[in-house]
Amino acid sequence: MSIEVKHLSKTFGSFKALEDVSLRVNDGELVALLGPSGSGKTTLLRIIAGLETPDPNPESEILFHEAHVTASPVGKRGVGFVFQHYALFRHMSVYDNIAFGLRVRPRANRPSRESIRDRVNHLLKLIQLEGFGNRYPSQLSGGQRQRVALARAIAVEPQVLLLDEPFGALDAKVRKGLRDWLRRLHDEIHLTSVLVTHDQEEALEVADRVVVMNKAKIEQVGTPEEVFHQPASQFVMEFLGQVNIFRCRVKAGTASLGTLTFEYPNYQESSEKDAIVYMRPHDLEIKRRQRNEPGLMAKVSRLNPAGAFARVFLHADGVDEIQVELPQDQYRELALSPGDVVYVYPKNARVFVPDFVI
């Protein structure tokens, strides 16, 4: 079941939560809506679910499998919704929570008691909580509660699964485990899913495609690889992963930062213009000696070898702090200490000219 939204806007009072947003989620895909808080990602999800209505606009459309659902109420859209704080029915047992959606169906298409039991037991097995049916939500851990919430959402066999920061309230380790589990579950049941998150790691790891949102608009839609390696905007570049930001000048197809130069074929005019160069910490190399090509001379100011990569903080004339991530073996080989003078060679850099439209 594909999901398509067209020209959605939503304002709360004077706050613009969504501004003319269009998006297509393909059948069986897991898409992550990623962005800082207030970027409109949750609003978009809630509009898809039918928990919010978009601002009235004749061009606004919400389509499930090419069929209009713009006017249908939440209960009729066939969505499974998972809330950040689980929203389990606190006075009901785990079993009753999962069975709820089946039991409230009109008598005509309500499953029999036996088939409800079978389905709930099957789901309890799926979420690895067999034997927990009689427990109450308050007797479960956060991770267990969220799995129950997921089972409850998919018990009604929804056509799409919508998850609002599902792991946001959990600690890092549980979050990681549940994230992997969700991905495996998705590969098993192929339910078209939309996940809202502000955690880039989560989005890049779980999703087939990532929708990066900022200030009520979509900045970029792409595979995790695309949004990480070919960011379409400064915002995406800065939001995803660590990045060094340098101010520079661009002129006639070339941006220059001190002794370093970068090609920027999009700007061919002969007048100079301000630009920004972005370099990921892992895209920088450190050498003790200068090579033939021009490098940036810098002084080591701080070292942090803890972690999978060693981090080196450098200081150079005319730029702020430079952060470099080195593989541990390279780091040992260099044997740096604060105060050493080194040369920095970018393997990869991206230039953006603010307010410059190609």
Partner 1 sequence: MSGDAKVARNDSQLPGSQQPASDLQADVKIRQPATRFRGATEEPVWIRYSLIFLTVSFLVFFLFLPLLSVFAEAFRKGVNAYLAAFNDRAALAAIKLTLITAAIAVPLNIVFGLAASWSIAKFEFWGKSFLLTLIDLPFAVSPVISGLIFVLLFGAQGLLGPWLTSQGIQIIFAVPGIVIATIFVTFPFVAREIIPLMHEQGTEEEQAAITLGANGWQTFWYVTLPNVRWALLYGVILCNARAMGEFGAVSVVSGHLRGKTNTLPLHVEILHNEFNFVAAFAVASLLALLGVVTLAAKIYVESRVRSTSTSEDLSSLDH
Q: Which residues bind partner 1 (CB under 8 A)?
A: 49-51, 74-75, 79-81, 83, 85, 87-92, 100-101, 104-105, 138-143, 149, 152-153, 156, 169-171, 174
Under 8 Å between Cβ of 19 and 183: no
Give the other-Cβ count within 10 Å of 63's Cβ.
15
How far apart are CB 4 and partner 1 at their closest, in Å? 20
φ, ψ of residue 20 in degrees (nearest 5): 50, 60
Select 10 or 350, whichever has its Cβ closest to partner 1.
Answer: 10
Select 178 or 236, whichever has its Cβ closest to partner 1.
Answer: 178
φ, ψ of residue 256 in degrees (nearest 5): -125, 135
Would you list the DSSP string of 180-244?
Answer: HHHHHHHHHH--EEEEEES-HHHHHHH-SEEEEEETTEEEEEE-HHHHHHS-SSHHHHHHSS--E
Give the integer Cα–Cα distance in Å for 342 and 352: 27
How far apart are CB 147 and partner 1 at their closest, in Å? 12
Give the integer Cα–Cα distance in Å for 221 and 18: 16
Residues 6 or more apart whose CB falls under 8 angstroms from that of 219 comprise 35, 212, 213, 232, 233, 235, 236
How far apart are CB 171 and partner 1 at their closest, in Å? 5
How far apart are CB 33 and partner 1 at their closest, in Å? 18
Select 46 or 209, whichever has its Cβ closest to partner 1.
Answer: 46
Nearest residue to 284 via CA among 195, 347, 329: 347
Select 162 or 206, whichever has its Cβ closest to partner 1.
Answer: 162
How far apart are CB 329 and partner 1 at their closest, in Å? 37
Select 104 or 252, whichever has its Cβ closest to partner 1.
Answer: 104
Give the other-Cβ count within 10 Å of 146's Cβ.
28
Select 149 or 185, whichever has its Cβ closest to partner 1.
Answer: 149
How far apart are CB 195 and partner 1 at their closest, in Å? 16
